[in-house]
Structure 1
Amino acid sequence: MISERKRNIREVDAENEDNGDRIGKRKRNIREVDAENEHNGDRISERKKNIAREVDGENEDHRPDRISALPDSLLFHMINFMDTKSAVQTCVLSKRWNDLSKCLTNLTFNSDLPSESLDRSFKKFESWVLSSRDDSYPLLNLTIESWIDADVQDRVIKYALLHNVQKLKMNINSTTYRPNFKSLPLIFRSQSLTSLELSNKLSPSRLKLPKSLCLPALKSLHLAYVTFTASDKDRVEPFSNCHVLNTLVLRNFSLSAQVLSISNSTLSSLTIFEGQACSIVLSTPNLSSFSITGSVGHQLSSTSDLSFLGEVNINIYMPWSETSLDGKSSIIIKWLGVLANVKILTIGLCAIQTILHDLLNPTSIRTQPPKFVRLESLKVKVGNPLSTKNTSDEKVTRAVEYLLQNSPMPRFDIIRSA
């Protein structure tokens, strides 16, 4: 009986083992199915990715080229904001744009520091630009800010002037090239120029200007590091033949006389930065804005009362020693006497300190301040606290009260920079 039970148990165990094998087989089958499904899923996913890439590629192919679709007039406008080299390089990118670089109305020549290879390359480029340019298009602006050979510079300027350029800006950035400027007489006889900026900062010799500038269309003139030629023994008078001149900026000039006469009935804005100490005589009845920056070296006078004067800015440099301040206050006050019809007056801290120096010196001879009959606003720019630690607001106010002792009190502001 016991033996029979053992046989039954073995049969049950065998049956369970058989069932376990079947279950294990089923599990393996399930895993195989799962693996196959996963593989199929990967293939489906890959197909989806391929389809997506194909669609994206088709979309890319059919996406419009917005730059090429722009009208020529707009493209032409855009490249005229570039320097000439960049404009030519841009136009090479498309056959449709090739001719645009030949129609530029603005030419800007910039080059790197001089070298023999760069010089040859620039000469070729300049020659190609000028020879290929379509002359039916007006030349509005020419800018030269480069280290280029004097002959090349002259050639470009002559081309521009012969094509009635309207605006000319030229910075001579060279310590080695000495421009012979065969084109200089042409510049100062131009009938087309409305704006001229001429700077000779780094050249070993200053540009010597003619006695009179005959520029009938000129409205704006900026001159830096130039020399004015005397029209007689004691005086230079270069601007009287600029009949529509509106804006004049003079920076670090020199002259072969003691008097600079600025005579022009249309001039409304005059700015002077430094320059050789001289006597400046204003014959500018329509002057509305005047700025002077630098040392207290110029004497200032006027042949009219400057009744249209709206704004005046005085910003002088402080000398190295306080003894150099002696007598400078009277010069500043004499300037203010010439400019007494101003409406808005802005004075820098150094001018205030110069006036204070004489106020605090009991032995100094004080000049009586003018009467500002039209003054509406007085602003004193005193800089940041570190630069003004020895000049309190009370001291500034004392100097201002001295200046305005003969005038109605206008609005008064002390302006400090951060």
Structure 2
Amino acid sequence: MEKKRRRKSGGRNEEDRLSDLPDGVLLYIMEFLPTRQVVQNSVLSKRWKNLWKSLSTLSFKPFYGIRKYNKSLSHIFSNRDHSVPLHNLHLTKLTLSIDFKFKEMPNSFVSLIFNCQSLTFLDLFISSSCFSLKLPPCLLLPSLKTLNLSNITFTARDNDCVEPFSTSTSLTTLVLRHSLHHHSAQTLCISNPTISTLKLENMVHSNTFIPKIVLSVPNLSSFTLENSHSSMCYELSSTCHLPFLKEVKIDNRVRVHSSIIINWLALFCNVRTLTLSSHTLYIFLKDFYLGTMDIQPPYFGRLKTFKIEMGFNSYMISEDEVNTVLEYLVQNCETTNVDVIEC
């Protein structure tokens, strides 16, 4: 005969009806609670200790301390039973640093992340140099405001072009790093009417092709471009004049002809504050001395402040050389009252 679980209460035994419920019923109840609370309560019963690992719905609410929050997420994702399909994911913030072991996790987990309706902040960093996370062609994240992606691969469509961000209708900040591989789409279209801050850092992770990046971000106010890899090269273009652009920073440490940088600057001719690194200035100087500067700088109609960010190579550039480059770059400005600041 099946034994009933009983507990003492006030000097008499009471039947533990909750623990007698089938696993399926207990899991159904647990899915209505925040997952962190379910995991914490699992210590109350030996039977519950591993039962939470079979949850098919995970729900997270932010609590004080982002490190503690991310540690909790990591513990739950790494210890759940991955043979059980994950059907629903409810969270607002997610930061994951993923190593090569992540490729053993089911694709359904990745799909749920990029279709999470409640997610407002997402930071994914793939730490393995030989593995990248493959993004779906379209990110269905209507609540997402901030997106940081490192070492990911964009899934190309039939025309070898991908436009993953257009359906994230609340997105304001986008940061992309190491995200154009040899097996990525050759044309990345960053199209979104709400993005105001965009940073591209060492985008190309392959020297087998020259990808294209097309910007369609009419509300862009801040843009940063950082290149430090020797294989870095891509075509950059824009479908609009970026009328709300306030600040642009370019730090290029790759040996390219200065005409490429001039073409980049021409896209941002409506900028108010322009910051160039000393590494970028040094590229202009080389072409000055080689006599290959045969292109006019863009017309900056609204430029007010020109900043020079002095790096570790600043000792290689004299003040006169800095002034030579500056005079060349601002010769077509609407106003001659441009503040030059070394920082």
Fold-level similarity (TM above 0.5)? yes
**Of 126, 135, 140, which aligns to 2:62?**
140
User: 1:143: Cα distance to partner?
Assistant: 2.1
Q: What is the aligned residue count?
A: 286
> Structure 1 177/147 Cα, relative in aligned 2: closer, same or farther at 3 Å?
farther
For the Cα contact (< 8 Å) 1:188–1:215, is it kept in 2? Answer: yes
In the alignment, which of 280, 294, 308 is matched to residue 351 of structure 1?
Answer: 280
1:202 partnered with 2:138: no
Pairwise CA distance, 1:182: 2.7
Tell me, yes or no, if the aligned pair for 2:125 and 2:151 is still in contact at 8 Å: yes
Describe the SS at the equivalent of 2:262: helix
Maintained 8 Å contact 1:269/1:287: yes
- Counterpart position of 2:97: 171
Task: Report the equivalent of 1:243.
Answer: 169
SS in 2 for 1:383: coil
State how far apart, in whole Å, the 1-side matches of 2:80 and 2:195 are.
30
* 2:179 maps to amino acid: F
1:379 aligned onto 2:312:
no
Aligned-partner residue type, residue 366 of structure 1: D
Amino acid at match of 1:336: L
The CA RMSD measured in Å over matched residues stands at 3.6
Aligned to 1:297: 233
Shift of 1:127: 6.2
- Distance (Å, rounded) in 1 between the aligned partners of 2:239 and 2:74: 43
Conserved 8 A contact 1:261-1:281:
yes
- Partners of 1:245 and 1:347 lie apart in 2 by 27
Higher share in strand = 2
Contact preservation (8 Å) 1:149, 1:177: no
Secondary structure of 2:325's match?
A: helix
AA aligned opposite 1:401: E
Q: Which residue number in structure 1 is paired with residue 79 of structure 2? A: 152
2: CA distance, partners of 1:289 / 1:254: 22
Given the alignment, which residue of 156, 159, 164 partners 1:230? Answer: 156
| SS of 1:199 mapped into structure 2 | strand
Conserved 8 A contact 2:243-2:270: yes
Matched, 1:396 2:319: no
Is residue 150–residue 178 contact of structure 1 (8 Å, CA) maintained in 2? no
Question: How much does 1:378 deviate?
Answer: 0.6
Please give the alpha-carbon distance, in whole angstroms, between the structure 2 residues aligned to 1:203 and 1:406.
43
Q: CA offsets, 1:327-358, max 9 Å, x none?
A: 2x111111110011111111111110111111
What's the secondary structure of 1:183's corresponding residue? helix
**Local SS of the residue matching 2:90:** coil
- Does structure 1 retain, via aligned residues, the 8 Å contact 2:74–2:96? no
Describe the superposition over 1:306-341 as per-residue Cα deviations: whole angstroms up to 9, x where unpaired.
01001111111244xxxxx4x2x1111111100111
* Partner in structure 1 of residue 26 of structure 2: none
Computing the radius of gyration over CA atoms, which structure comes out larger, 1 or 2?
A: 1
In 2, the alpha carbon distance for the partners of 1:153 and 1:334 equals: 50
What is the TM-score when the length of structure 1 is the normalising length? Answer: 0.61
Which region of structure 1 is more displaced relative to structure 2, 352-361 or 263-272? 352-361
Equivalent pair of 1:154/1:182 in contact (CA under 8 Å): no
Aligned pair partner of 1:190 in 106, 113, 116: 116
Structure number with greater CO (CA < 8 Å, separation at least 6) is 2
Give 1:257 deviation, angstroms: 2.4
Structure 1 Cα separation of the partners of residues 80 and 268 of structure 2: 41
Change (3 A) 1:404 1:143: same
Contact 1:314 1:351 in 2 (8 A): yes
Q: Does the aligned pair in 2 maintain the 1:352–1:396 contact within 8 Å?
A: yes
1:370 to 278, 282, 298: 298
Q: CA deviation at 1:153?
A: 6.6
Amino acid in the other structure paired with 1:282? L
Unpaired runs of at least 5, structure 2: 1-32, 39-45, 64-68, 205-209
Q: Aligned partners of 1:176 and 1:265: how far apart in 2? A: 33
Deviation of 1:196 (Å): 0.8
Aligned counterpart, 1:307: 243
Q: Distance in 2 between matches of 1:130 and 1:237?
A: 37
Distance in 1 between residues matched to 2:323 and 2:139, nearest whole Å: 44
Quickly say closer, same or farther: Cα 1:216–1:103, change in 2 above 3 A. closer
**Residue 252 of structure 1: aligned partner:** 178
Residue 326 of structure 2: SS of its match in structure 1? helix
Contact map agreement 1:221 1:249 (CA 8 A) in 2:
yes
CA contact (8 A) 1:172 1:203 kept: no
Between the aligned partners of 1:253 and 1:404, the Cα distance in structure 2 is 33
**Matched-pair contact (CA < 8 Å) for 1:106–1:139:** no
Q: What's the counterpart of residue 341 of structure 2?
A: 413
